[in-house]
Amino acid sequence: MSLENSAKVPVEERLFSLVLALLATENGLTKTEILSTVQGYRQDFAHTGDNANLERKFERDKDDIRELGVPLETVQSPGDPGNNQNLRYRIPRGAYELPTDIAFSAEETTLLGLAAMVWREGSLSTESRRALLKLRSLGVTADQPVLGYAPRVRVRDVAFEALNAALGRNAYVRFSYLKPGEEEARVRTVAPLALVQHQGRWHLAAEEAGTGIRKTFLLRRIVSRVTTTGTTFPPPTDDESTKALLELEEVWDSHTAVVDVEPGSDAATRLAKRRGTVAEASAESQNLLRLHYSDINIFADELAGFGPEVLVVSPPELRRAVLDRLLKTAADHG
């Protein structure tokens, strides 16, 4: 086996090569011409033999690049209409090129590339692949990144991918949601409007089916599989992501707590670096911090994790929530 045949071509490179090949031809290419010449197919093409597996791969790739927004066309042979073996595939350059008033410098393209590299998990990769594939296939070049590595935004919530897919289809979803203080989860049916990350946690902005009441759900509290109901809703006209972030920011700004931290402790170091933290002092202590939070239960979990390094001064409900967690921990350990 040759080195060329033994080297596996990544999916992204195969799709990129396919798009380039179909852009480069005015009259299009037949399936046989594609499989025998395009990088990612030709390595496995049998000139005399069975190429059924390769043809199935090409059919999947056609669906993938169409889903990525590429206007792939099929053209029947004038002399042999109806014969699928002689169909020709092409991408009309005029329908695929960037608008004439849009252009990117090499530096801007580098930043776009780095931004796309951040989103490497779940359905988010579809958007980055769409952007990179279009820029590369249109010949937009980028400077080599000066970074030796790229940051990544990780999606750890199981519900994220299903919700993101439903967002793209404007489909109603159903899931079980467990609120703090409730013993049993409640089934919610909602129209998903936006997925946003705030203070390191993913939230779903949605409208409740039937009432139209707008609600925000923390993804980590979705305790069931997310399913679609089979019905859709009109796409929202407003920028729902911005609206959701503003709502979460208002909650963050309106909730404050005062804590007394042990000087030089891990709690003092970490909490002092939280966004919006202000150092305060009183007659009783010189080590007070005023902190913002958006969810009292999540914040109580965080503060309880510091143990004796933190004493909650206010508000009383947060103080009680932290104390309850510490007492439970002590009871669980005898």
DSSP 333: T
Written as tens digits, the pLDDT of the chain (334 aa) is: 344 443 466 777 788 788 888 877 778 888 888 998 888 888 888 888 888 889 999 998 888 888 767 788 888 876 666 666 678 898 887 766 655 666 666 666 666 555 555 555 444 445 455 555 555 555 544 444 443 444 455 556 889 989 988 998 899 999 999 998 888 999 999 999 999 989 888 999 999 999 999 999 999 999 999 999 999 999 888 889 999 999 999 999 999 999 999 999 999 999 999 999 999 988 889 999 999 999 999 999 999 999 999 999 999 999 999 999 999 999 998 7
- Domains of the chain with bracketed CATH: 6-96 (1.10.10), 160-238 (2.30.30), 255-332 (no CATH)
Residue 156 backbone dihedrals phi, psi, to 5 degrees? -100, -15
Q: pTM for this one?
A: 0.58
* DSSP-assigned beta bridge partners for residue 191: 207
- Distance separating alpha carbons of residues 316 and 332, to the nearest angstrom: 24
Q: How buried is residue 165: exposed, middle or buried, by Cβ count under 10 Å (0-12/13-18/19+)?
A: middle
Q: What is the 3-state secondary structure (H, E, C) of 90-148?
A: ECCHHHHCCCCCCCCCHHHHHHHHHHHHHCCCCCHHHHHHHHHHHHHHCCCCCCCCCCC
Beta strands in the chain (DSSP E): 29-30, 73-75, 88-90, 171-177, 186-198, 201-208, 214-218, 227-232, 256-261, 278-280, 288-292, 310-314
331, containing H or E segment = helix 316-332
